[in-house]
Chains A and B, each alone.
Chain A
Amino acid sequence: MSLIDTRDLYKIYKLGDVEVRALNGVSVSIEQGEFVAVMGPSGSGKSTFMNILGCLDKPTAGKYILDGIDVTATNLSKLAGVRNRKIGFVFQGFNLIKRTTAIENVELPMIYNQTPAKERHQKAMEALEAVGLAQRAYHLPNQLSGGQQQRVAIARSLVCDAPIIFADEPTGNLDTKMSIEVMELFTRLNKEMGKTIILITHEPDIAEYASRLIKFKDGQKISDEVKK
Chain B
Amino acid sequence: MIDTLYSIFKISLKSIFANKMRAALTSLGIIIGVAAVITVFAVGTATKKSISDRFSNMGTNIIFLRQPWDLDESISSPKDITMDDVLAIREIEGVSAAAPYIQDAFSVKYKNTSVGLSVLATDTDIFKAYDWTVEKGRSFTEKEISDYAQVMVIGATSAKTIFGDVEPLNKTVVLNNIPFTVVGVTQKTGSSGFGFNIDEGALIPYTTGKVKMNTGWSNSDRRALDRVVIKVEDFNTIENMKVDISNAVRNTHHIHPLGKDDFQLDDFASFVEQAKSTATTMSLFLGIIGAVSLIVGGIGVMNIMLVSVTERTREIGIRMAIGATSWNIRLQFLVESMTLSCMGGLIGIILGIIFTLFVAKYMSLSAELSVWAILVSAGFSAATGIFFGYYPAYKASRLTPIDALRYE
Contact = CB atoms under 8 A, between A and B. Distances in A.
Interface of A: 51, 54, 56-57, 76-77, 80-81, 83-85, 89, 91, 95-97, 99-100, 108-109, 111-117, 156, 160
B325 A109 contact: no
A53 to B, nearest CB: 12
Given A97-B315, A99-B14, A56 B3 contact: no
Interface string B286-322: 0000000000000000000000000000110111111
B325 A99 contact: no
Interface residues of B, number: 27
Given A56-B320, A81-B323, 7 more contacts: A57-B401, A80-B320, A80-B323, A89-B322, A91-B405, A97-B315, A100-B14
Nearest to B312: A97
B20 to A, nearest CB: 13
B321 A89 contact: yes
Nearest to A76: B400
A112 B322 contact: yes
B350 interface: no
Contacts of B8: 111
Contact of A97 (B318, B401, B402): B318
A51 B402 contact: yes
Contacts, number: 73
Contacts of A54: 321
A56 B402 contact: yes
A99 B15 contact: yes
Nearest to B318: A95
B270 interface: no
B319 to A, nearest CB: 7
Contacts of B318: 95-97
Contacts of A85: 323
Contacts of A156: 322
B405 A56 contact: yes
User: Which of B4, B18, B326 has most A Cβ within 10 Å?
Assistant: B4
Interface in B322-370: 322-326, 328
A181 B233 CA distance: 101
Interface in B1-41: 1, 3-4, 6-8, 11, 14-15, 18
A114 B325 contact: no
A84 B7 contact: no
A114 B1 contact: yes
Interface in B365-408: 400-402, 405
Contacts of A113: 323
- Consensus secondary structure, chain B interface: helix
B324 A112 contact: yes
Contacts of B325: 77, 80-81, 112
User: Which of B1, B323, B326 has most A Cβ within 10 Å?
Assistant: B323
A114 B323 contact: no
A100 B322 CA distance: 16
Contacts of B317: 95
A91 B318 CA distance: 10
Given A56-B401, A111-B8, A80 B1 contact: no
The 3 nearest A-B residue pairs measured at CB: A84-B323, A80-B325, A109-B322
A95 B320 CA distance: 12
User: Which of A95, A109, A111 has most B Cβ within 10 Å?
Assistant: A111
A108 B319 contact: yes
B324 A80 contact: yes
Contact of A160 (B1, B320, B323): B323
15 contacts: A56-B402, A80-B320, A80-B326, A80-B328, A83-B401, A84-B322, A85-B323, A95-B314, A95-B317, A97-B318, A99-B18, A112-B322, A112-B323, A112-B328, A113-B323
A77 B328 CA distance: 11
A151 to B, nearest CB: 16
Interface in B143-166: none
Nearest to A157: B322
Contacts of B326: 77, 80
User: Which of A57, A85, A95 has most B Cβ within 10 Å?
Assistant: A95
Contacts of B324: 80, 112
A117 B3 contact: yes
A111 B402 contact: no
B315 A117 contact: no
A111 B321 CA distance: 13
A77 B320 CA distance: 9
A55 to B, nearest CB: 8
Contacts of A81: 323, 325
Contacts of B400: 56-57, 76
User: Which of A51, A80, A84 has most B Cβ within 10 Å?
Assistant: A80
Nearest to B319: A108
A84 B4 CA distance: 14
A95 to B, nearest CB: 5
Contacts of A109: 322-323
